[in-house]
Amino acid sequence: MFANKPRLAVGVDAGSAFTRCVILQLDDGYLKYLCHSEIESAGWSKGRLTDHLAVQSSIRSAVEAAEDKASVSVDGVVLGIGGSCVEGSNRCGLYEFARRRRLAQDQVAFAVERVSKGRLDDDRMILEVLPQDFTLDGRGGYRQPVGSMCSRLEANVYLITTSQREHDMMLEAAHLSHVAVEETIFEPVASAYASILPTERRGGVALIDIGWHSTGMVVYDGDALVLAKSLPVGGDHFTRDVAFGLKAAYEDAELLKIEYGCAILGLTADNSLIEVPSPEDREPREARRRTLNEILEARAEELFYNIKNELVQVGMDQCLLEGVVLTGGGALLNGMCDMAERMLNCPARNGLVVGVEAWPDELNYPAWTAAGGLAMYSARLKSNGGGRKKAPGLVGLIK
């Protein structure tokens, strides 16, 4: 009976608005969808974890709901990490030999690992170590250095770090839920893993994950990650702008945004009127739909203007041959891809999960890409032998 137990790959996206769980089955290298669950999150305030017991309850409820649907028991999960506490930076690890020698895989791994032992700012911890390329005896640009001859090896890597305190609180919440955490991953990295093919990364591509309180982004140049960033703007800011601009309650503003909103003028009937709910002692009011869309357009322009500035700083503003991929619940706003194309001057599309058998149509939305990617990453860990890796991303580069 134990031999017939399915190999499960589970991802949990514990966002500040919703907690989503996806369970996949790993069978001879193929991934098959089993079930999913979604519940409203608790324990968050303005994108920061403020009550780990409430977050624990959200994670436990989401995992149990998925377990009940699939009639399985979850042993471990890959947990998504996001928010303004996440940062990225370039680092270099050096390994000098007494004489020229042919590089072995463990020597390349050691050069990468040395980066993770460097000094970090207070309350910072390494979330992911992602190798970019290698420099051999002063000559750069090597992606696969194993087997080459050199006396001096430099590993150029990209470090993604996060707040130690915030990370520990997330882990504690998961452990109190009686869920073992196999790995913690920056959510845009997981979304990119699920929705962007390796050939697309080689052409230059950016993934923008628009969450509820923040927007995470990762940029690939060739096979290398060159930027990981979190911006303090998300779907909540769009809703608050509408509530303030139309003098509506927050819940009503969210409904107006979803039903009538558009991130760019001219794509909808802007001259029509919409009904703005009022308190019970007042009659409903009317407002021009154009006014609503002007509010949303201003916020969308600000978001993509900041994204463009990040691309300029890493020299990728005119190098995204494969364009940008939008994920997260905020990508569902009508016109977001059009605004991205206008501001970033490249193609834009919504990022959906690819490569999972029987992936249901109801999950073919960018809000589910992170959860799907986290589950796919769990399958990758199990395929590579299981267990937490010291340097995430290393196996795929030098194996």
Tens of pLDDT, residue by residue over 236-283, are: 999 999 999 999 999 999 999 999 999 999 888 888 999 998 877 788
Domain boundary among 160, 183, 208: 160
- CA gap 351, 72 in Å, rounded: 29
Tens of pLDDT, residue by residue over 78-98, are: 999 998 889 999 999 889 998
- Asked whether residue 242 falls in the same domain as residue 379, the answer is no
Quote the distance between the C-alpha of residue 39 and its chain's center: 19
- Asked whether residue 274 falls in the same domain as residue 339, the answer is yes
**Could you read off the pLDDT tens digit of each residue along the chain, which spans 399 residues?**
445 678 999 999 999 999 999 999 998 878 999 999 999 999 998 888 889 899 999 999 999 999 999 999 998 999 999 988 899 999 998 899 989 999 999 999 999 988 877 788 888 999 999 999 999 999 988 988 999 999 999 999 999 999 999 999 999 999 998 889 999 999 999 999 999 998 899 889 999 999 999 999 999 998 899 999 999 999 999 999 999 999 999 999 999 999 999 999 988 888 899 999 887 778 888 999 999 999 999 999 999 999 999 999 999 999 999 999 999 999 999 999 999 999 999 999 999 999 999 999 999 999 999 999 999 999 999 887 654 444 434 334 333
Number of domains in the chain: 3
The pair of three-digit structure tokens given for residue 246, joined into one six-digit string: 């139309």
The domain in which residue 374 lies consists of 2-84+165-196+352-398
DSSP-based helix, strand, coil % in the chain, nearest 5: 35, 35, 30
Domain boundary among 134, 160, 186: 160
- Asked whether residue 150 falls in the same domain as residue 252, the answer is no
Predicted pLDDT at 6: 84
- Asked whether residue 335 falls in the same domain as residue 213, the answer is yes
- Asked whether residue 27 falls in the same domain as residue 143, the answer is no
Query: Strand order in 87-102's β-sheet?
Result: 87-102, 149-163, 124-136, 139-142
Q: What is the CATH number of the domain that holds 131?
A: 3.30.1490.110
Tens of pLDDT, residue by residue over 19-34, are: 999 999 998 878 999 9
Q: What is the CATH number of the domain that holds 221?
A: 3.30.420.40
- Asked whether residue 257 falls in the same domain as residue 178, the answer is no
- Asked whether residue 254 falls in the same domain as residue 326, the answer is yes
- Asked whether residue 241 falls in the same domain as residue 192, the answer is no
- Asked whether residue 233 falls in the same domain as residue 325, the answer is yes
- Asked whether residue 46 falls in the same domain as residue 169, the answer is yes
- Asked whether residue 53 falls in the same domain as residue 78, the answer is yes
Domain boundary among 350, 371, 390: 350
Q: How deeply is 285 buried, as exposed, middle or buried, from its count of CB atoms within 10 A (0-12, 13-18, 19+)?
A: middle
- Asked whether residue 290 falls in the same domain as residue 391, the answer is no
